[in-house]
Chain A
Amino acid sequence: MIKVMGFCNLHGNRSLGPLTDARPLGSTSFLGRYALMDFTLSNFSNSGIDKVGILVENRFRSITKHLGSTNVFNMNTKLGFQQILINEKTIGNPIYHHDLNNLRHNDWILLEHKPDVIVIAPSHILYVMDFKQVIDEHLKNKSDITLLYTHIRDGKKHFLDGEEVAIHDGFVSKMQPNQGMKDDLDVSMDTYIFSRQGLQHIFDKAKGLSATFGLKEVLKHLIHHDPKLVYAHAHTGYVRSFFDLGLYYDFSMEMLNYDLRKSVFLEDWPIYTVTNNTPPARYGPNAVVQNSMIANGAKIYGTVKNSIISRNVIIEEGARVENSIVFTNTHIGNDVHVSKAVIDKYCHIHHVKKLEGKDLPLYIRQGDHL
């Protein structure tokens, strides 16, 4: 049997501005219930991969808080694990602090589990994928490296930090930064399948190239010299790359659309997450709720429209929340009007009666009393 290990890659962390000051994107809240990395980890679990390393760059607090010592992603709670991998050697030295060095310095996990196939997937790109099929194809091709890519039609604003790829004869023949000059293009999903030798090859080559090159830079360089090295696998369907607060807001709000939601949350593809044992949401006698997602434990006495309300949020009577995202345990007081805002956890909004974002959503920091 082929032994597969997955790595959830949190390196090359995107910043959503103040939203990600104290947490990596991977553990940032999504749709009132999930962390973004839940999608990556659930893709692994549902694909039968439950030996998983999590390559963390920094801001560990939020990751350990989310994952703790839970078994939610494991099929077998003894055989499966989500090992948080931190690279102590390079943490104080940013130019060396990349995913490849994290993997190399934590190679004990590869030596211990001896995987035949290694899947590396990012936490900032959301998609739903059965890796079994890709791995089968990878094995059939006798490939050492397979890269997953997708076609986008909004390249002027999407994947702006991503890599455009050129595909030739089923191989990735070129990889270069998306310049944002055109809408239609193929982009890398920063997701790779390696054979054990394939990954070793990367380690070996990286040494001679540059100690500061991460996985993506090394691959780019190798592809440039050998356009038949990396197999390409096309993925179609929902793919979103989280890059800034505006996109985070857009990608959240679009989930209020039923058809899109159905295409991501499939019946046979559950998205696992940590449970908090919160009671059902409570709607008061004068509550008005329209076109919104509400998480358990919320208490809604006021008006909520086109919004995403997280666990244990209280919306008081007379409060009005529109086109907004409200994070866990936040309290929106009487007569407060919130519009196009992202309000972080544990906030109390009482004195300021109007919060309104314009082109960009207004962001309120965790724990603020306004």
Chain B
Amino acid sequence: MIKYKSIEVFILEKEFVAMLLAGGKGTRLEILTKKLAKPAVYFGGKYRIIDFPLSNCAHSGIDTVGVLTQYESTVLNTYIGNGEKWGLNGIHSLTATLPPRQTEDSNVWYRGTADAIYQNLDFLDALKPSYVLILSGDHIYRMNYQIMLDAHKKAAADLTVAVLNVEQKDVSRFGIMTVDDEHIIQKFEEKPKKSVSTLASMGVYIFSYKSLRQSLVNDAKKLDSDHDFGKDIIPAMLANKKKLLAYPFHGYWRDVGTIESFWEANMDLIDNPEAQSLFHSDDLKLFSEDTRSLPQFVGEDAVVHDTLINQGAVILGTVKHSIIFHDVIVEKGAVVDHCVLMPGSHIKSGAKLHRVVVASQVETNQMVSGEDSIVLLGKSS
């Protein structure tokens, strides 16, 4: 039973639940997130970014997921619905979208990743979890969180952080940690300018709920806190001598925070074998919505090489090394090379696009080359 003071809703208690942080804007994705939260941004010809963590949850046997939304939450909340797209609507499942709410005591936005979870402690309390998985809705990767939980339990850790090795030049974009022989975290620095260690946090955390609750309550009292997991919660837990475990992840993982990295990750689906395993796996089907489109049609004079194409697309022109979403039209006489064409975009005869990301529903007949840096074609351009 979940209790919000005067209202009670029936839910099942769970040992392991997920909270997915999906409230961010993703400013560096420019017009792609003008009216859309970053987790709802399209990726890989058929998907939205949030399909990755939610499909991961489904395949990890997690059936209770709270999704924290804030920026442009309407599309995202509607898309998530009751979790049916990922099968998270079974009789034991719960998919709850959790935008900020007005309560008897307060009336504020989520002020940080930690504050978002803090404001929903009543929701978590009702679920009575032993472990809480905190995820971000920004990343492209496949992972079985249950195996990570096993490691967390075995180490009797308070917090387990999924980590991967990044290149030295990228350390300033991540939370970087130093670990001992048993992967116990000794030091954690949020976005350091320089670091000897290259072990970076993926923004995937498993907390023992008691430790999480205590840390969040303490943090909420601090006036100078940014209420952020990386900046505030993890350093405070380290200072309090909590047991923090690093869990090494091996495999494809990308933060698609910029147009350049978004484009690159899409291109990886074509020629990076590691990235191809993201959805070409029978056991780990990536779940998403079905658009009810016809199968794609490739015309008499079309040329299609090294490309992923989704249903509903009509290709009459030339498409090379590109990602084509549903219901895209490429007219005869149009040439598309190293591009990402989002749903419903229409590339007219005469258009020549090279290294371009075309936003959804955009029509163009331009000649555009993103030779130096990737060009994003939106509705206004």
Decide if A and B are genuine partners.
Answer: yes
- Chain A interface: which of B2-10, B69-77, B214-222, B299-307? B299-307
- Chain A interface: which of B115-123, B127-135, B280-288? B280-288
- Chain B interface: which of A9-17, A265-273, A332-340? A265-273
Distance, CA A256 to CA B287, complexed state (A): 29
Residues of chain A contacted by B286 (CB below 8 angstroms):
277, 279
Determine if A279 and B305 form an interchain contact, defined as CB atoms under 8 angstroms apart. no
Q: A272-B292, A277-B287, A296-B295 are in contact. Are A283 and B311 (CB under 8 A)?
A: no
Determine if A296 and B306 form an interchain contact, defined as CB atoms under 8 angstroms apart. no
Question: What is the interface of chain B mostly: helix, strand, loop, or mixed?
Answer: loop
- From A265, A272, A287, A290, B294 is in contact (CB under 8 Å) with A265
Residues of chain B contacted by A293 (CB below 8 angstroms):
294-298
In A233-290, the 8 Å CB interface with B consists of: 256, 258, 261, 265, 270-273, 275, 277-287, 289-290
B249 is an interface residue with CB less than 8 A from chain A: no
Determine if A292 and B280 form an interchain contact, defined as CB atoms under 8 angstroms apart. no
A32 is an interface residue with CB less than 8 A from chain B: yes
A291 is an interface residue with CB less than 8 A from chain B: yes
- From B287, B301, B306, B323, A284 is in contact (CB under 8 Å) with B306
Residues of chain B contacted by A258 (CB below 8 angstroms):
297
Q: A289-B298, A292-B298, A294-B298 are in contact. Are A281 and B308 (CB under 8 A)?
A: yes
Distance, CA A277 to CA B308, complexed state (A): 15
Distance, CA A286 to CA B307, complexed state (A): 11
Q: A275-B290, A295-B311, A296-B310 are in contact. Are A283 and B295 (CB under 8 A)?
A: no
B99 is an interface residue with CB less than 8 A from chain A: no
CB distance from B74 to the nearest CB of A (A): 22
Kindly supply a per-residue 1/0 record for chain A positions 350-369, scoring 1 wherever the CB is within 8 Å of any chain B CB and 0 otherwise: 00000000000000000000
CB distance from B88 to the nearest CB of A (A): 14
Determine if B45 and A287 form an interchain contact, defined as CB atoms under 8 angstroms apart. no
Q: A290-B299, A291-B300 are in contact. Are A283 and B309 (CB under 8 A)?
A: yes
Q: A265-B294, A289-B302, A293-B296 are in contact. Are A33 and B311 (CB under 8 A)?
A: yes
B206 is an interface residue with CB less than 8 A from chain A: no
CB distance from B255 to the nearest CB of A (A): 22
B37 is an interface residue with CB less than 8 A from chain A: no
Kindly supply a per-residue 1/0 record for chain A positions 156-192, scoring 1 wherever the CB is within 8 Å of any chain B CB and 0 otherwise: 0000000000000000000000000000000000000
Cβ-closest chain B residue relative to A72: B290
Distance, CA A275 to CA B301, complexed state (A): 30
A31 is an interface residue with CB less than 8 A from chain B: yes
Distance, CA A270 to CA B310, complexed state (A): 17
Determine if A31 and B295 form an interchain contact, defined as CB atoms under 8 angstroms apart. yes
Q: A279-B279, A280-B324 are in contact. Are A294 and B296 (CB under 8 A)?
A: yes
Residues of chain B contacted by A256 (CB below 8 angstroms):
297
Q: A277-B286, A283-B307, A287-B305 are in contact. Are A296 and B46 (CB under 8 A)?
A: yes
CB distance from B271 to the nearest CB of A (A): 9
CB distance from A68 to the nearest CB of B (A): 13
Determine if A279 and B46 form an interchain contact, defined as CB atoms under 8 angstroms apart. yes
Residues of chain B contacted by A286 (CB below 8 angstroms):
305
CB distance from B63 to the nearest CB of A (A): 18
Determine if B298 and A279 form an interchain contact, defined as CB atoms under 8 angstroms apart. no
Query: What class of interface size applies to chain A in its complex with B?
Result: 20 to 34
Determine if B294 and A33 form an interchain contact, defined as CB atoms under 8 angstroms apart. yes
CB distance from A249 to the nearest CB of B (A): 17
Distance, CA A118 to CA B324, complexed state (A): 43
Kindly supply a per-residue 1/0 record for chain A positions 89-101, scoring 1 wherever the CB is within 8 Å of any chain B CB and 0 otherwise: 0000000000000
Distance, CA A292 to CA B297, complexed state (A): 6
In B159-216, the 8 Å CB interface with A consists of: none
Determine if B304 and A289 form an interchain contact, defined as CB atoms under 8 angstroms apart. yes
B66 is an interface residue with CB less than 8 A from chain A: no
Residues of chain A contacted by B296 (CB below 8 angstroms):
281, 293-296
Distance, CA A290 to CA B298, complexed state (A): 6
Distance, CA A136 to CA B141, complexed state (A): 53
Distance, CA A270 to CA B326, complexed state (A): 15
B230 is an interface residue with CB less than 8 A from chain A: no
Residues of chain B contacted by A285 (CB below 8 angstroms):
305-306
Cβ-closest chain B residue relative to A310: B295
Determine if B294 and A279 form an interchain contact, defined as CB atoms under 8 angstroms apart. no
Kindly supply a per-residue 1/0 record for chain B positions 39-63, scoring 1 wherever the CB is within 8 Å of any chain A CB and 0 otherwise: 0000011100000000000000000
CB distance from A31 to the nearest CB of B (A): 6
In A9-43, the 8 Å CB interface with B consists of: 31-33
CB distance from A9 to the nearest CB of B (A): 24
Kindly supply a per-residue 1/0 record for chain B positions 304-326, scoring 1 wherever the CB is within 8 Å of any chain A CB and 0 otherwise: 11111111000000000001100
Distance, CA A342 to CA B317, complexed state (A): 28
Cβ-closest chain A residue relative to B321: A285
Distance, CA A289 to CA B302, complexed state (A): 7
CB distance from B13 to the nearest CB of A (A): 27
In B11-40, the 8 Å CB interface with A consists of: none
Distance, CA A280 to CA B290, complexed state (A): 12
Determine if B299 and A271 form an interchain contact, defined as CB atoms under 8 angstroms apart. no
Q: A277-B287, A277-B288 are in contact. Are A295 and B295 (CB under 8 A)?
A: yes
Determine if B305 and A284 form an interchain contact, defined as CB atoms under 8 angstroms apart. yes
Residues of chain B contacted by A279 (CB below 8 angstroms):
44-46, 279-280, 286, 308
Cβ-closest chain A residue relative to B87: A277
Residues of chain A contacted by B44 (CB below 8 angstroms):
279-280
Distance, CA A308 to CA B297, complexed state (A): 9
Distance, CA A242 to CA B285, complexed state (A): 34
Determine if A296 and B298 form an interchain contact, defined as CB atoms under 8 angstroms apart. no
Determine if B309 and A33 form an interchain contact, defined as CB atoms under 8 angstroms apart. no
Kindly supply a per-residue 1/0 record for chain A positions 286-317, scoring 1 wherever the CB is within 8 Å of any chain B CB and 0 otherwise: 11011111111000000000001000000000
Residues of chain B contacted by A290 (CB below 8 angstroms):
298-302
Cβ-closest chain B residue relative to A299: B280
Residues of chain A contacted by B280 (CB below 8 angstroms):
279, 282
Distance, CA A220 to CA B22, complexed state (A): 63
CB distance from B197 to the nearest CB of A (A): 36
Determine if B306 and A283 form an interchain contact, defined as CB atoms under 8 angstroms apart. yes
CB distance from A284 to the nearest CB of B (A): 7
A-B contacts, 22 listed (Cβ < 8 Å): A33-B295, A33-B311, A258-B297, A261-B294, A279-B44, A279-B45, A280-B44, A280-B46, A281-B296, A281-B308, A282-B308, A283-B305, A283-B306, A287-B305, A289-B298, A291-B298, A293-B296, A294-B296, A294-B309, A295-B296, A295-B311, A296-B296
Query: Hey, which bits of chain B sit against chain A, CB under 8 A?
Result: 44-46, 279-280, 285-288, 290, 292, 294-302, 304-311, 323-324
7 closest cross-chain pairs (CB), A and B: A275-B290, A280-B45, A279-B279, A280-B308, A280-B310, A289-B298, A295-B295
Q: What would 13 more interface pairs be, CB under 8 Å, given A281-B310, A295-B295? A: A273-B292, A279-B45, A279-B308, A280-B309, A280-B310, A280-B324, A281-B309, A283-B304, A283-B308, A290-B298, A290-B299, A290-B301, A292-B297
